[in-house]
């Protein structure tokens, strides 16, 4: 399975990153969460004072910066910025950055280069439709927004104890709307994707399902 390519898409808190990382570890593949790349552009643009309205500046920044993915860690120009990318301000900024077509085009090229040769599980919101349209296995994970809000709240409350679940719910509604209605690579399942509702499944249940779906390379 070390040459396989698995594309996993889905909305925020559908479980795609956790599932993707576990599947990659199970079958001995690399793992790439492409959302971290958009967050990296968002973080670096903020550090350098590049406005989110400056499409050309953001595109040039995305093209020039060196991104290295090491498991759940991400390095930008050699600096480990993994914890910085989880900040709420960076997340909000990244959703704006991700709507810019030239930024997406630039990062998609980098993502495709990382997938060259196979042996990778890649997760995001346009992997099966745009980044890796020829992937032999395309998965689309989803769950009711109430369940996704509950999961997201559990994750955030560890860092921000006062965060309210209803606020998380509203944030997810806005993010879903932005992702699904953007002109550049809107969030949607690929025509040949296998859709899995993770709402009532454990993480290990979903991982088992995905692993069982991987085509035999022989």
User: Please, are residues 65 and 36 in contact by the beta-carbon 8 Å criterion?
Assistant: no
Fold assignment, 30-117: Rossmann fold (3.40.50)
Q: Which of 22, 30, 19 is nearest to 113 (CA)?
A: 30
Q: What is the pLDDT of residue 1?
A: 54
Residues with Cβ within 8 Å of residue 198, at least 6 apart in sequence: 14, 15, 19, 141, 142, 143, 206
pTM of the predicted protein model: 0.91
- Per residue, the 3-state secondary structure of 131-145, as one string, reads HCCCCCEEEEEECCH
Fold assignment, 1-15+122-211: Rossmann fold (3.40.50)
Domain positions in the chain: 1-15+122-211, 30-117
Tell me whether the CATH fold assigned to 1-15+122-211 matches the one assigned to 30-117: yes
For residue range 63-96, list pLDDT tens digits in order: 999 988 776 678 999 999 998 998 888 988 998 9
User: Please, are residues 61 and 48 in contact by the beta-carbon 8 Å criterion?
Assistant: yes
- Give the percent of the chain with pLDDT over 70: 97
**Residue 152 belongs to what H/E stretch?**
helix 145-157
Q: What is the mean pLDDT of residues 166-195?
A: 92
């Amino acid at each position: 399975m070390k040459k396989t390519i698995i594309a996993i898409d889905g909305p925020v808190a559908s479980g795609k990153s956790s599932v993707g990382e576990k599947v990659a570890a199970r079958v001995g593949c690399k793992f790439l969460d492409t959302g971290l790349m958009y967050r990296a552009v968002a973080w670096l643009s903020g550090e350098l004072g590049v406005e989110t309205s400056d499409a050309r500046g953001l595109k040039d920044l995305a093209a020039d910066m060196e991104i290295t993915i090491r498991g759940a860690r991400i390095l930008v120009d050699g600096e480990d910025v993994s914890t910085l990318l989880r900040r709420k301000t960076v997340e909000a900024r990244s959703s704006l950055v991700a709507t810019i077509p030239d930024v997406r085009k630039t990062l998609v090229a980098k993502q495709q280069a990382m997938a060259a040769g196979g042996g990778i599980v890649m997760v995001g919101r346009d992997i099966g439709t745009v980044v890796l349209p020829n992937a032999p296995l395309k998965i689309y994970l989803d769950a009711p927004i109430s369940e996704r809000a509950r999961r997201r709240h559990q994750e955030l409350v560890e860092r921000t104890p006062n965060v309210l679940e209803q606020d998380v719910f509203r944030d997810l509604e806005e993010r879903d709307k932005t992702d699904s209605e953007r002109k550049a690579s809107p969030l949607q399942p690929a025509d040949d994707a296998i859709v899995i509702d993770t709402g009532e499944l454990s993480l290990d249940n979903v991982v088992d399902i995905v692993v069982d779906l991987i085509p035999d390379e022989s």
